Amino acid sequence: MSEKNSHILLANADDHRIAKLAAIAIGLHLIEAVLPSPLPGVKPGIANIVTLYVLYKFGIGTAAWVSLLRVFAGSLLLGHMLSPTFVLSLSGAITSLLVLFFAIRLPRRWFGPVSLSILAAFAHIGGQLLVVWLWLIPHAGIAYLTPVFALAALVFGIINGLVTARLLSND
Amino acid sequence: MSNPISSRPYRDLIGAIRPGDWLTVLTTIAVVMVLFDSLWLGETASKVQIRAGNQIHSTLSINQQRVVEVPGPLGITTVVIDHGRARVASDPGARQYCVKQGWLDQAGQVAMCLPNQVSVELLGSRKIHDSLNY
């Protein structure tokens, strides 16, 4: 290979930071995957704590990198790559990132990590249920599960938001 | 970390909730309650439809106190309507399934007395499917 055609990719400080944070998120994602769940689909979503923390510390761009890397690497490690599980995970991550993109612009004095966490959790299940309904199970029966998922999003959204607030206050 | 999390007072955690956060929490609690109410509790019935044989015997408002006697091949089936609920009070059939079913109060619920060919169905504002096939 001639000197002209060779490309050297250099990882800068940002790349290292994203990799480290994504690694934490992937770790939490894997821990959560082995936890038993009372109902398929109801999960605490503890990896979202990392997304929220990164959003506050480094902005939406880094948060999107960390969140999407977590989805891709997590599904590779768990063997879900390109399966419906992966698509659900990805759609949840994308919708919650979209909502966070707007929610982070809310006045900081009034709305903290708890609000953002709840909104992201609702966006997460919203995106997933939409994919389930449009693609996997096009049946009105999905509506019966919606309240349960919404309740889980509310409870875990508050808890994850409080944890994020605590992490941010430690800095 | 110099300060272990467990040593921090609990009120710090609640203090992290800002005024707008309470608004978010209350709004989402309301959303969850509306979802449970609309998707789980079903629709309250507005009418009672009684069928005898292959004909509609009568369609009555459920918001009344009334006893309806429906004739069938075996005898009289008695249907009781009681301000928002209805039931089959007596039936000449052998197994009494429709009587044992008790009060019906949700739209779409049905009690059938097959031997006497009488059925009681609660109707809401729209017809819900009782089964779907693909």
B12 and B58 inside one domain: no
Asked whether residue B23 is assigned to any structural domain, the reply reads yes
With b meaning 16 or more CB within 10 Å and e meaning fewer, what string describes B8-35? eeeeeeeebbbebbeebbeebeeebeeb
B41 lies within 8 A of chain A by CB: no
Considering its fold, how many domains does chain B have in total?
Answer: 2
Asked whether residue A6 is assigned to any structural domain, the reply reads no
Q: What is the pLDDT of residue A39?
A: 80
Range of the domain at B118: 47-123
Asked whether residue A158 is assigned to any structural domain, the reply reads yes
In CATH, what number is assigned to the domain containing residue A117?
A: 1.10.1760.20
B69 and B119 inside one domain: yes
Residue B11: pLDDT band with limits 50, 70, 90:
low
B77 and B53 inside one domain: yes
Range of the domain at A159: 13-170
- Which chain B positions have a beta carbon within 8 Å of A119's beta carbon? 24
Per run of 10 residues, the mean pLDDT along chain A (length 171 residues) is 70 92 95 86 90 96 96 94 94 97 94 96 95 85 87 96 91 73
B106 and B62 inside one domain: yes
Asked whether residue A1 is assigned to any structural domain, the reply reads no
Asked whether residue B130 is assigned to any structural domain, the reply reads no
State the smallest CA–CA distance between residue A70 and chain B in angstroms. 25
Q: What is the pLDDT of residue A150?
A: 95
Asked whether residue A156 is assigned to any structural domain, the reply reads yes
Per residue in B101-131, pLDDT (tens digit) is: 999 988 888 999 999 999 999 988 766 566 6
For B6, name the nearest residue in chain A, comparing CA atoms only: A166
Per residue in A66-93, pLDDT (tens digit) is: 999 999 999 999 999 999 999 999 999 9
Q: What is the pLDDT of residue B121?
A: 92
| pLDDT higher than 50, residue B1 | no
For A142, name the nearest residue in chain B, comparing CA atoms only: B39
ipTM given for this complex: 0.86
Q: What is the pLDDT of residue A8?
A: 85
B54 and B107 inside one domain: yes
Q: Which residue has the higher pLDDT, B50 or B2?
A: B50
B56 and B114 inside one domain: yes
Asked whether residue A78 is assigned to any structural domain, the reply reads yes
